[in-house]
Structure 1
Amino acid sequence: MSHRWLPLAAIGVSVVLWSAAYVVSGWALETTSPAVLSVGRFAIALLVLIPLAARRPGLVRTLRQPRTILLGLTGVTLYYSFANIGLLFTTPGTAALTAAFLPVLTAGAAVLLIHERPTRRTWWGLALATLGVGLVAASGFRVDVGVLLNIVALASYALYTVLLRKDAGSADAPDAIVLATATGVWGTIIMLPWLAWEAFSGTIAVPGDVRGLVSILILALVVTAPTLVLFNYGAERLPAAVSGVATAAIPALGYGFALLLGEPLDPIKAIGGAIALTGVVIATLAAPDIEPSPPGSALPEPAELATETLARAREKTPGPDR
């Protein structure tokens, strides 16, 4: 039973780190251009991840797989590019509230693309989480260009989450560190033309103060590297809808961080955050009842499959009385 809770714990820690990233990214963008921030945080994170992944089998093979390139494009390049550009047009708090759309986008993508069938508790959790983040957003949400760009980023990340789940469970699947590293490598490579465009257009800007530099280091070493590994680990092993609902905690946790930093208490936001977190708990409690077979395939367990195959072989083999 315990091994089934490890993916939930991994997703939970990644969501907590993710919730703090909006404020730190806003600090970095005060003096840093979006491409420099995006490429810089991943380049620094890869300095830690590559040596770890190189000690494990399958890194080169994983880098060559088309699936890894697609994961890098959706989960790194498109998500972080649109999210960081969006922060130039909206506040970190508003961007964090926009994350309320991610659970719905992920659940919808899971149903449409891999025909995943969420449990009844997952649907109830999704409904409560959506209601909760809706209440949080009602107190301070406004639609602007930054919000629209962040929704595009979230749609890309929803696709990334579903892709992680879609091809998980194969015999030659890499471990979380290898996959996270390979995904980060491709995502960073695909972002390099954007960085070159900033350089040629004269819009490139490197951190101009200590806070900007420290913000990038925090994003790289405290947020990006751990979150990439932990979320990959959890999302490969949980239904995509459950992983998506867990992200509903981001707006609530983001508001909690704001309270710790001195923001006045808003009862509506507080109630909405509590409802959202309740929905997350209800949805994630459904995870241990999910069979650990690939999503949408309804495959039997390996032992059952072996028994069934052996039985069919015996039926086809002539016996001594035939």
Structure 2
Amino acid sequence: MDTYHTQPAARATRTTVTDVSSSRRPALVALALLTLIWSYNWIVMKQALRYSGPFEFSALRYVLGSGVLFAALLLRGESLRPPPLWPTTLIGLAQTTGFQLFVQSALLVGGAGKTALLAYTMPFWVVLIGWLALGEKPTRRLWLGLAVAGGGLVLVLEPWHGLGNAGSSALALAGGVCWAIGVVASKRLFQRGGTSALSLTAWQMLIGTLVVGVIALLVPERPIEWTNWFIGALVYNALLASGLAWLMWSYVVARLPANVAGLSSLVIPVAGIAFAWLLLGEVPTPIEGAGIALIAAALALVNLRRAG
């Protein structure tokens, strides 16, 4: 009797596990694709700045990207009503305006791989800002991650060699801080409920883009060279990096655990460094390599969670 009742239960358990695994497979594929899109985009952005100033490129990229996201809202039948204005404005100024302008300026003189790595120190700033703004005290593991990351940053920046490209590094780090402010503000807004990830992304991008556009109009830059390569870079950024990838990200966040989705914060900068090494010849020195390894290890400590 016991055996008879146990066997169907076991089969049901196996079926449930299989079903869950199957339901997550498309989200895992989406995560892999958007990670590839965003990591390779560091190379695309670096090359695009050969034909345009950073502000005009950012404005064009996000004007087109915002159009893609609002078109997606319409196609999915979601409301075009904006989320709460002031939190959304703060997120747009931080996550679109601040992050993009700092990062693009860093790419002008800094390497694509190093800029990607320093910009993706965002998870560490999220921990610190979350502590200050939300009272979320870091755990021992997070403190360890911050300490390891600090050591890695010292090796990457090599302050004993003088300032060097410290300006570019500072801009990339400032981009990471802006991104972190946007993440914390988004978290607070989502806690209030009633706002979808896609709607918030579209509206904050539109608001941030308006500010980027004003800056691009006011700050003199080199004339844009409308080469086929530059147009291709714009298309890549608008349709893939600023459009499709954000749609996939909202899909991933909705269907995968936070620790799995958070792996992108680890893989993207490492893949960006690999692309920069292979395609742009940006070979890290041994000391930089050690620093990169430490920061990657710290990102793993911050992002990886034990199951259950």
Report the TM-score, using the length of structure 2 for normalisation. 0.73
Query: Which of 261, 269, 286 is the matching residue for 2:305?
Result: 286
Structure 1 unaligned blocks of 5 or more: 290-322
Query: Which of 37, 48, 52 is the matching residue for 1:28?
Result: 48
Residue 116 (structure 1) aligned with residue 152 (structure 2): no
Map 1:173-188 → 2, pairs under 5 A: 173-174=195-196, 176-188=197-209
How far residue 83 of structure 1 moved from its aligned partner, in angstroms, is 2.0
How far residue 92 of structure 1 moved from its aligned partner, in angstroms, is 2.8
Query: Which of 72, 86, 95 is the matching residue for 1:75?
Result: 95
How far residue 6 of structure 1 moved from its aligned partner, in angstroms, is 10
Distance 2:144 2:33 in 1: 23
Residue 163 (structure 1) aligned with residue 163 (structure 2): no
How far residue 144 of structure 1 moved from its aligned partner, in angstroms, is 3.6
Aligned to 1:216: 234
User: Partner letter of residue 283 of structure 1?
Assistant: V
Q: Bigger shift: 184-193 or 56-65?
A: 56-65
How far residue 282 of structure 1 moved from its aligned partner, in angstroms, is 3.6
Higher helix share: 2
How far residue 60 of structure 1 moved from its aligned partner, in angstroms, is 2.9
Distance 1:37 1:229 in 2: 22
Q: 1:286 to 1:103 in 2, by over 3 A?
A: same
Q: 1:15 to 1:122 in 2, by over 3 A?
A: farther
Distance 1:29 1:265 in 2: 22
How far residue 111 of structure 1 moved from its aligned partner, in angstroms, is 0.7
Deviations 1:34-53 (A, max 9, x none): 22211111122233221211
How far residue 217 of structure 1 moved from its aligned partner, in angstroms, is 1.6
The 8 Å contact of residues 164 and 232 in structure 1, kept in 2 or not, is answered as: no
Q: 1:190 to 1:22 in 2, by over 3 A?
A: same
Distance 2:29 2:127 in 1: 20
The 8 Å contact of residues 129 and 181 in structure 2, kept in 1 or not, is answered as: yes
Q: Which runs of 4+ in 1 moved over 6 A?
A: 1-13, 232-240
The 8 Å contact of residues 74 and 156 in structure 1, kept in 2 or not, is answered as: yes
**Identity %, equivalent residues:** 24
Q: CA RMSD in A?
A: 3.9
Deviations 1:100-126 (A, max 9, x none): 643332221111011123443343344
Map 1:128-143 → 2, pairs under 5 A: 128-132=148-152, 134-138=154-158, 142-143=164-165
Q: 1:248 to 1:268 in 2, by over 3 A?
A: farther
How far residue 264 of structure 1 moved from its aligned partner, in angstroms, is 5.1
The 8 Å contact of residues 251 and 273 in structure 1, kept in 2 or not, is answered as: no
**What is the aligned residue count?**
283
Q: 1:205 to 1:89 in 2, by over 3 A?
A: same
Secondary structure class of the residue paired with 1:30: coil
Residue 195 (structure 1) aligned with residue 216 (structure 2): yes
Deviations 1:170-223 (A, max 9, x none): 34122x22221122111112222123224xx5x363343222221222122222
The 8 Å contact of residues 28 and 207 in structure 1, kept in 2 or not, is answered as: no
How far residue 28 of structure 1 moved from its aligned partner, in angstroms, is 0.9
Distance 2:62 2:306 in 1: 31
Q: 1:90 to 1:67 in 2, by over 3 A?
A: same
Report the TM-score, using the length of structure 1 for normalisation. 0.70
Map 1:172-321 → 2, pairs under 5 A: 172-174=194-196, 176-198=197-219, 201=220, 203=221, 205-229=223-247, 247=265, 249-261=267-279, 267-286=286-305
The 8 Å contact of residues 114 and 273 in structure 2, kept in 1 or not, is answered as: no
